[in-house]
Amino acid sequence: MLPRLAWRNLWRQRTRTLILISAVTFSYALLLVAMGVGDDSHQQMLDAAVEGAGGDVLVHRDGYWSTLAADLVLPDGLAVAERARGVEGVAEAIPRIRLPALVSTADGARAVDLLAVDPLVEEALVDIHEHLVEGERLDATALESPILLGIRMAEDLETEVGGRVVLTASGWDGELTRALFRVAGFLETGIREVDETLAYTTLQAAWGALGDSATVTQVGVLVQEGTDVEVLAEALREGLGRDGVPVEVLTWRQAVPEMVGFIETDDAFLYIYAAVMFVVVAFAIANTFLVAVTERVREFGLLNALGLRGRRIGVLVLVETAVLTLVAVGVGFAIALAGHLAIDHWGIPIAIWGMEDMELAGVNISDMVMRSQITTSKWIVATVAVMVTTVGSAVFAAVKAARLVPAEAMRFYE
């Protein structure tokens, strides 16, 4: 009976109810969509940052990550990778060399971020050939000492596929080393800065140039699904730190703190928006229902006189808000879901905001397409929060209605 009465009571003041419902509906839907887009772009940025850093957990010579000093290396990197693979929860351990270097031809020289990888193992983290526009893959070429170059750099240096370049870098001993490489192909990401500095080679070729056969600067570790990164990092510290050179083991949180910080700040802004929204909605509801109770004092007095207990009259008011909330949440959820699906399907390229070369915490996101993802727990929390806020803000009005003294309430309009 109470729901039926509540439902009809709501529609007595149709405009007022519709305004309230729309307010709740749209702020709720907006919150969900904002969370969907936010969570997805954060995920993308984080993925990009983790990819750029080299893995979920990074193993270096102690002190390397903060200084990138060329002499802080893992002399027996392959063995470190092999031991890491033996640790429970490790999906893959990827040895690689990161080295600032100079690539030169007769037409000039360019500074590059050289990455020497095992192309097959690297595949587990990132497809380095995704942007190959010309030439051959590192794992398919017959060239000796092959190198892939960013297309803009290649154009500046006027090289072509199969052409020779000279790589100059500081060797493990600090001495300058020069070596001849052959251009296997060009990479084009579309991001100017990347296309000007990107260079990939194989570990074998790098070792050939540097005169070594086991040293790496980093072992990137990928964790198995469902593994706690912190726990795994601790296990790696235990397993790798015991003998040999001192190592540092960093989780992605520690490896890309700027990105983690940026995401946390961004989320915080969303929560602030949500809090402000909740306060506004709560205020509107509390106010409207107080007015509604005042308008209906005579009627509540009648219901009470007829034998409806005060507490149930309070419940009636709460049921009215609950019904209003359910309608708003239902419609709002449908709108949010439609928005989520549309955004996820078509995507919003970040480029439409005209930001070229946009970089966030060291990750270039100018080619990012914002999509949407549902973080179930967050959507549930938001939904419960909306319901609790709306129904909760009518409690004051409900208590007032429940406490009416029938004799006085009935005199109200006499």
Partner 1 sequence: MSEPLIRAEGVTKVFRQGELEVHALRGVDLTVGVGEFSALAGPSGCGKTTLLNLIGALDEPSGGVLSVAGQDVTQLARGDAADFRLDHVGFVFQAYNLVPVLTAYENAEFTLLLRGASREERRTVVEPLLERVGLGGLFERKPHELSGGQQQRVAVVRALATSPSIVLADEPTANLDSTASAGLLDLMLELNQELGTTFLFATHDELVLERAKRVVRMLDGRVDEDIWD
Ligand X SMILES: Nc1ncnc2c1ncn2[C@@H]1O[C@H](COP(=O)(O)OP(=O)(O)O)[C@@H](O)[C@H]1O
- Which residues of the shown chain bind partner 1 in the complex (CB under 8 A)? 1, 5, 8-9, 12, 298-299, 302-311, 405-407, 410, 413-414
Q: Among partner 1, ligand X, none, what does residue 178 contact (CB within 5–8 Å per kind)?
A: none
Residue 302 or 385 having the CB closest to ligand X: 302
Q: Among ligand X, partner 1, none, what does residue 228 contact (CB within 5–8 Å per kind)?
A: none
Residue 85 or 411 having the CB closest to ligand X: 411
Nearest CA-CA partner of 397 in 325, 295, 289, 308: 289
Q: Among ligand X, partner 1, none, what does residue 367 contact (CB within 5–8 Å per kind)?
A: none
Residue 164 or 411 having the CB closest to ligand X: 411
Residue 174 or 307 having the CB closest to partner 1: 307
Q: Are strands 108-117 and 90-105 parallel, antiparallel or unpaired?
A: antiparallel
Residue 135 or 314 having the CB closest to partner 1: 314
Q: Among ligand X, partner 1, none, what does residue 309 contact (CB within 5–8 Å per kind)?
A: partner 1
Residue 9 or 197 having the CB closest to partner 1: 9
CB of 414 to partner 1, least distance (A): 8
Beta bridge partners of 199: 114, 149
| Sign, Cα dihedral of 136, 142, 143, 146 | positive
With CB under 6 A, what is the number of residues at the site for ligand X? 2
CA 151 vs CA 117, 148, 183, 191, 192: distances in Å: 19, 9, 11, 10, 9
- How far apart CA 240 and CA 315 sit, in angstroms, is 63
Per-residue binding string, ligand X, 371-410, x by CB under 6 A, is -------------------------------------x--
Beta bridge partners of 279: none
The two tokens of residue 307 are 């034998």
CB of 10 to partner 1, least distance (A): 9
Residue 310 or 406 having the CB closest to ligand X: 406
CA atoms within 13 Å, Cβ hemisphere of 358: 14
Q: Could you give the angle at the alpha carbon of 350 between the alpha carbons of 344 and 353, nearest 5°?
A: 130
Residue 306 or 352 having the CB closest to partner 1: 306
CA atoms within 13 Å, Cβ hemisphere of 274: 23
- How far apart CA 267 and CA 46 sit, in angstroms, is 14
Q: Among ligand X, partner 1, none, what does residue 176 contact (CB within 5–8 Å per kind)?
A: none
Contacts of 137 (CB under 8 A, 6+ apart): 119, 129, 184, 185
Q: Among ligand X, partner 1, none, what does residue 327 contact (CB within 5–8 Å per kind)?
A: none
* Per CB under 6 A, 238 contacts ligand X: no
Q: Among partner 1, ligand X, none, what does residue 397 contact (CB within 5–8 Å per kind)?
A: none
Beta bridge partners of 377: none
CB of 296 to partner 1, least distance (A): 9
CB of 411 to ligand X, least distance (A): 6
Question: Backbone phi, then psi, for 314, in 5-degree steps?
Answer: -60, -45
Burial zone of 28 (CB within 10 Å; 0-12 exposed, 13-18 middle, 19+ buried)? buried
CB of 287 to partner 1, least distance (A): 22
Q: Among ligand X, partner 1, none, what does residue 208 contact (CB within 5–8 Å per kind)?
A: none
Q: Among ligand X, partner 1, none, what does residue 253 contact (CB within 5–8 Å per kind)?
A: none
CB of 379 to ligand X, least distance (A): 51
Residue 334 or 407 having the CB closest to ligand X: 407
| Sign, Cα dihedral of 236, 88, 219, 54 | negative
CB of 305 to partner 1, least distance (A): 6
| Sign, Cα dihedral of 322, 327, 329, 330 | positive
Question: Backbone phi, then psi, for 168, in 5-degree steps?
Answer: -115, 130
The two tokens of residue 311 are 């507490």
* Binding-site ranges for ligand X (CB under 6 A): 408, 411
